[in-house]
Amino acid sequence: MLTQQLINGLTLGSTYALVALGYTLIFGVLEIINMAHGEIFMFGAFVGLMTVLYYKGSLLTAIIAAIIATMLIGLLMEWIALRPLRRQKGASHLASLISTIGVSIFLENLAHKLFGPETQPFPIPFTNVTYELGSVRISLVQIIIFTIAVAVMIALQVWLGKTRYGRALRATAENIETAAILGVNTRRIILLTVLLASALGGLAGVLVGMGFNAVTPTMGVSVGLKGLAIIILGGMGSVPGAMVGGLVLGVTEVLAVVYGDSAYRDAVAFGMIIVILLLRPQGIFGSKQPVRR
C-alpha cells in the first residue's frame, strides 16, 4: 500500500540525503565535486561492519568507528590531494576533480585488497524486530535509520545557523576572499568542511549497510552517483536542497520498484530528476543568478 511504500521511501531517502550533504558541503565551500565521497561512504560501511564482526562492537560503536575512520580519510585527502592544488596559482577546479577521482580509484582498490570483492552481510541483532501500526509494518532498523538521519540533518542545520563555526562556514561558502578579510580562518574552515562531509559519508555508509544488510567495495559508485544527482536536483551547494532531493529520490525509487519494474528503478528515478530539471534547471532550491566568487 502507498503509506507503507512512502515510509520505505523516506527511510531510503534519508540515507541518500546524508550522502548528498557531504557532496554539497564540499561543493559549497570549495566549489569542487568530491568524486571520492562515494568511496569514503563505502569505507565507512566496511569499518562499521568490521567493528561489529571482529570487535563485537555495538551499533553505536560501529558508527563512531566509521566516523573516525572516514574523517581520517578526509584529512589525508585534504592534505595530499586537495590543499597542494589550492596552493598552485592558476590551478583550475578541474585539477581538484581529477585528483578526487584518483583518490576514489585508490580507495576502491584498497577496499578490494583489505575486505575482498564479495558482498558481506551486515549483522545486527534486531533485524527481525518489527512493529505494526494497523496495516503498516515498520522495522526497528527503519526507525533507527530514519531517526538518526533526521536528527543529524536537523543538528547540521542548527549548527550552520546558530554557531560561530557554522556561520563561518556559510561565510566561506558565500565568498572565501571576503570571509578571510573579515577574519575567518578559511584554511581551518575548509579542513572542518572536509572532515564534516567525510563523517556524514561514514555515518551514511553504516546506515545503508545496515538497511540493505549488504556491504561491497563497489557500493560507493552507485550511491555516489545518486548523491551527485541529488545535489543537482536540490540545487548545487544547497543544504536544504540536498535533504529534500534525497527524500524525493528515495521515495521515487521505492514507488518505481513497487508499482513498476525493479530493473528500471534507477531509470525512473533519474528520469524524474531530468523532468524536474527541465522545469527548474537550477534545482529545487538553487538560485537563478550565478554566484560570484
Cα–Cα distance for residue pair 163/102, rounded to 1 Å: 34
Tens of pLDDT along the chain (293 residues) come to: 788 888 888 888 888 888 888 888 898 888 888 999 999 999 999 999 999 998 888 889 999 999 999 999 999 999 999 998 888 877 777 888 899 999 999 999 999 999 999 899 988 777 778 888 888 888 888 898 889 988 998 999 899 889 999 999 989 988 888 889 988 899 999 999 999 999 999 999 999 898 888 899 999 888 888 888 888 888 877 888 888 888 888 888 888 888 877 777 777 767 777 887 788 777 777 666 554 44
**Residue 222 and residue 267: Cα distance in Å, rounded?**
13
Alpha helical stretches, state H, 57-139: 59-77, 83-87, 93-115
Distance CA 74, CA 115 (A): 20
Outline where the chain has alpha helix (H).
2-30, 37-54, 59-77, 83-87, 93-115, 140-162, 164-174, 176-181, 186-212, 219-234, 239-259, 265-279
Tell me the C-alpha distance between 99 and 77, whole Å. 9
What pLDDT, on a 0 to 100 scale, did the predictor assign at position 291? 46
What distance separates the 2 farthest-apart alpha carbons in the chain? 63
Query: For residues 143 and 63, what is the distance between their CA atoms, to the nearest angstrom?
Result: 16
pLDDT at 2: 80
pLDDT in the model for residue 289: 55
pLDDT at residue 293 in the model: 42
Q: Which three cell numbers stand for residue 61?
A: 560503536
Q: Does residue 77 contact residue 143 with C-beta atoms inside 8 Å? A: no
Nearest to 24 by CA among 180, 218, 243: 243
Angle formed by the axes of helices 239-259 and 2-30, nearest 10°: 150
Give the alpha-carbon dihedral of 274, 276, 282, 284, to 10 degrees.
Answer: -140
Distances (CA, A) of 165 to 49, 76, 147, 172, 197: 32, 22, 25, 10, 15
Please name which of 40, 42, 43, 47 lies closest in space to residue 62, comparing C-alpha atoms.
Answer: 47
CA distance 185 to 166: 13
- The reported pTM is 0.89
Report residue 154: phi and psi, to 5°: -65, -45
